[in-house]
Structure 1
């Protein structure tokens, strides 16, 4: 998938009684989420990559540069990694500026290229008003932003984030998430982001690695993994798919915006920016119903030509349907959860053309203007 451009990880061994056998690849930029329940091995994988934990069978490379090959293992201090933990752990006797300076000056002294500049990090994370404060005078979200800045100023080639929002309350999480989005869109390096909160993953991640009991059970682009009925997240009660959507126009008279996703246009409430602004939306499987014919009259605004690509019928009462948007089904994939009675009663089957009625969707985030035409979804 990534060749020499991204990262490749393979770790096998035991940590106490825990058995790890995890292999995956990730792209050279953007956020890759390591997702799974507590105790599935997410943090252990990060520690192996950082060199804090070694496995007898291990291989790790970044951009073609091998950091571990079996017993040959580069020590932690020689790995250009920035590590952000759940707790910020700032130096309490140093101001914010001096906390940031600590890693920055040390990295430059050791010959780092200095690709991440102090002023750029301060602006990116919005911490200029905090520079003269002491850590004890910072909120939880502010402390974590400073910790992220300190990790970046150590001039890493890879940023590891181990549940950085887990210790924060809802208000602090909402405060810091826009800055993490900005990091995702700006940093010229890969980020591995550990979480067991699917809402964080859907808002931030481009790719996802699913872990269960020390094994990788699925990996790939976020929306592709979410729409795979073989994956456990597709069978969760709140299953859904996060999609990128581009603003086409706004109807001021009715307070509605039209968004383009791959293969369809969606009408949503609110003014979501000018044409070309890119957002993330989430369509829940429970908010999608199916019809064989387009309803003549309906309060549902989004009735989209679609095609059934596959169905998971393992549950005796519910069917998870994978839909491809567009008349030929070659657009974005979404999920629908319908009753077995409806599936049988309508005579539904893979390959069949249907209309997907989307009763609602959630706006996850806004990402600003589209940076390149190649990233624009087809409408």
Structure 2
């Protein structure tokens, strides 16, 4: 657990930041210039706050009396550019991070295997692709035995092909390495695919910090992710492959049928955009849409209807005329008809 609370003034921007980050990936999300990189630099000890308190796993990194230097904070940092030593091989770049650690050889073998770095060990950074360089940078950060991993837009300098190459490794890192990670990004697709929780930042302030699913389905917060990105992220498990080829995915909101080829037992995250949801007060009949889920209206705000579907939350984007025509209000029962679903790895 990382606990962050600090203030720092700059010409034209005053940062006042407070949040907690559990195990898994916490994304710091917001527009350029809102203070995301400055925040993780303060956590890593690369920038000194004016005041505040930063605590990692109960260990004080910064407060009014303590200001540990970066090398004493046990934080691995992965920058936008890999910042590898160009004159060293991949193996020597990796071992540089672990040169003073006992048991580093065992970790070296484990981490190089996890990131599939074995074929690269004898090469120099200049001969690697952008995705390969970032994998090496991640391995080097892990070999420093960090208690926290910081990634400052690690995919920003990569083209789409290299992003596609490295995203599965970041997912594996999230699932297999049980330590908190702060991930700076302004890419909604990256946040949706990787993050467990999110810190929404705007003009040097934290607007909200919490589970990603809460942010996406909150009509007051979803617009900060982008109006076209508002919706829901629902966990599901493939339970059967039907005779017609569709897969039945069970969620807390009910079953959803999808055209996908995944074996039973596969866990998924289903992305349902607000503008892909139609509402009906009565159980729909005579429609081609297969997924119609019973729901209850929680809130209506700025053209967004927040819905409860069991323990899950969803948003539907409809016009004020539709709200009036359907007589929608808090507590009203309805059905959410889902037109399109994106499937993300769990």
Q: TM-score, normalised by structure 1?
A: 0.88
Q: Is the 8 A contact 2:29 2:201 kept in 1?
A: yes
SS in 1 for 2:229: coil
**TM alignment of 1:180-259, pairs within 5 A:** 180-231=170-221, 232-233=223-224, 236-251=227-242, 253-259=243-249
The answer to whether the 8 Å contact 2:17/2:206 transfers is: yes
Alignment of 1:287 onto 2:287: no
Whether 2:281 is the aligned partner of 1:300: answer no
Contact 2:217 2:230 in 1 (8 A): no
Q: Provide the residue aligned with 1:35 in structure 2.
A: 29
List alignment gaps of at least 5 residues for structure 1: 1-5, 368-379
Q: How far apart, in 1, do the equivalents of 2:259 and 2:288 lie?
A: 14
How far apart are the structure 2 equivalents of 1:17 and 1:361? 42
Once the two structures are overlaid, the 10-residue window that deviates more, 10-19 or 77-86, is 10-19
How much has 1:115 moved relative to structure 2? 11
CA distance in 2, matches of 1:234, 1:82: 27
Alignment correspondent of 2:13 = 18
Deviations 1:229-257 (A, max 9, x none): 11133661332222222111112x42211
How many residue pairs get aligned? The number is 345
- Preserved CA contact (<8 Å) 1:228 1:234: no
Picking from 38, 46, 54, the partner of 1:52 is: 46
Unaligned runs of 5+ residues in structure 2 are none
In the aligned structure 1, how far is the partner of 2:45 from the partner of 2:64? 13
Quote the residue 2:318 is aligned against: 338
The answer to whether the 8 Å contact 2:80/2:155 transfers is yes
Q: Which segment drifts farther, 138-147 or 6-15?
A: 6-15
Name the residue aligned to 1:84: 78
| Structure-2 separation of matches of 1:68 and 1:43 | 17
Q: TM-score, normalised by structure 2?
A: 0.96
What is the CA deviation profile of residues 106-152 of structure 1, one whole-angstrom value per residue up to 9, with x for unaligned ones? 3x0xx6x7598111111211222211211111111011011100010
* Conserved? CA contact 2:75–2:150, under 8 Å: yes
Conserved 8 A contact 2:38-2:47: yes
Q: Is the 8 A contact 2:257 2:291 kept in 1?
A: yes
- 3-state SS in 1 of match to 2:139: helix
Q: Is 2:143 the partner of 1:143?
A: no
The whole-number CA distance in structure 1 between the counterparts of 2:174 and 2:11 is 35
How much does 1:200 deviate? 0.3
Alignment of 1:45-194 (within 5 A): 45-106=39-100, 108=101, 117-194=107-184
Relative to structure 1, the CA distance from residue 193 to residue 234 in structure 2 (aligned partners, 3 Å threshold; closer, same or farther) is closer
Query: Aligned-pair distance for 1:74?
Result: 1.1
Cα distance change, pair 235–122 in 1 and its aligned pair in 2 (3 A)? closer
RMSD: 1.6
Q: Kindly indicate whether the alpha-carbon contact (under 8 Å) linking 2:272 and 2:341 is maintained by their aligned counterparts in 1.
A: yes
Question: What is aligned with 1:374?
Answer: none
Distance in 2, Cα, partners of 1:15 & 1:76 = 21
SS at structure 2 position matched to 1:73: coil
Task: Answer with 222-231 or 202-211: which moved more.
Answer: 222-231
State the distance in 2 between where 1:92 and 1:55 align.
33
How far apart in 1 are the matches of 2:219 and 2:152?
28
